[in-house]
Amino acid sequence: MNLSQAAQIIQNAVDAMNISYGEVLFDEWFLLQTNAVPWKVPYYRGPRFNQQTDIYKEIQPLEKDLTDPQLPTGTFRMARDSETEPENFDAFIVAAPCLCLFFNNTTKRMPELAMHSNWFRCEPDIKYLAEKFRRDQIEI
């Protein structure tokens, strides 16, 4: 799929996650191309991106997983550290080789989100998106 198609599919999935969760689960997301130096952000959607946003700092809680070359397309990882800040990105899905989709809730931390009683209701939406990437990877 191309970037425009991917953006629509991702936003539809995020909207579905938010509905399943019963409130805003993720209000910010972006794609990160990791085979570019420096890494590139080919698509961003959310309330606060500007040139001052330090995306590299904000993905640090997930960086160890991000740099694992064994992660196949469709892998989902989330930050579990209760010390992360709300502006840190909460989770990612490997969308294609060298391309990751990051999610964030700009007001809550991932441990708080995952403890919500409706967390399990949005898991099928996450799995759908992961499977979509396995079947039809994003071409940048």
Q: Which helix (H) or strand (E) holds 80?
A: none
Residue 100 lies in a domain: yes
Residue 35 lies in a domain: yes
Residue 131 lies in a domain: yes
Name which residue leads in pLDDT, 58 or 81.
Answer: 58
Residue 140 lies in a domain: no
Q: Are 28 and 43 in contact (CB under 8 A)?
A: no
H helical segments located in 22-118? 55-58, 63-66, 110-115
Number of domains in the chain: 1
Per residue in 115-126, pLDDT (tens digit) is 999 999 999 999
On the 0-12 / 13-18 / 19+ scale of CB atoms within 10 A, 114 is middle
pLDDT over 60 (residue 31): yes
Residues 6+ apart with CB under 8 A from 112: none
Three-state DSSP state, 102: strand
> If you compute the radius of gyration of the chain from its CA atoms, what whole number of angstroms results?
14
Residue 58 lies in a domain: yes
Residue 99 lies in a domain: yes
Residues 6+ apart with CB under 8 A from 74: 93, 94, 130, 131, 133, 134
Domain housing 18: 3-135
Stretch among 24-28, 69-73, 85-89, 108-112 having the lowest mean pLDDT: 85-89
Residue 109 lies in a domain: yes
pLDDT of res. 52? 53
What pTM was estimated for this model as a whole? 0.89
